[in-house]
Amino acid sequence: SSKRPVYKAETTGSYWGDVKAAASRLSPDDFSHIGEMPCARSSLLNGIAAGAGVGIVRGIGAGPFVASNWAVGTFMLISIGTWTVCQRNRNEERRRIQQVIEEMPRRYVVKKEGE
């Protein structure tokens, strides 16, 4: 049976305690389903493309160690940035849908009274 993800959990009050608790929830099976997570696939692909591009361009003028550092840094920055923007857009869309759902009964009642 598949485990349902835990989106909110109580904190331990300690940063490293929270990291340990989060790491204990990970399983190897979680990484095989990363493409099913909202926004993860596109964010990782954007990060890979940007990291490879910056790594190649930086590798022309600098050594492989410097180029790989730039590539990894760019990958992380772009992946986290695009994931954050995607999550914000999803939350905003979810909020708009909730508003429409809440407005539907009022619109129906007003329309029915106007007939």
Domain boundaries, the chain: 36-103
pLDDT tens, 7-45?
A: 666 777 888 888 888 888 888 887 788 778 888 999 999
**Rounded percentage of the chain residues whose pLDDT exceeds 90:** 49
Q: What is the DSSP string of 26-89?
A: --HHHHHTGGGSTTHHHHHHHHHHHHHHHHHHHHHHS-HHHHHHHHHHHHHHHHHHHHHHHHHH
Separation between Cα atoms, residue 48 and residue 102, nearest integer Å: 41
Residues 39, 31: contact at Cβ < 8 Å? no
Residues 99, 72: contact at Cβ < 8 Å? no
User: How is residue 4 annotated by DSSP?
Assistant: P
Q: State residue 109's pLDDT score.
A: 67
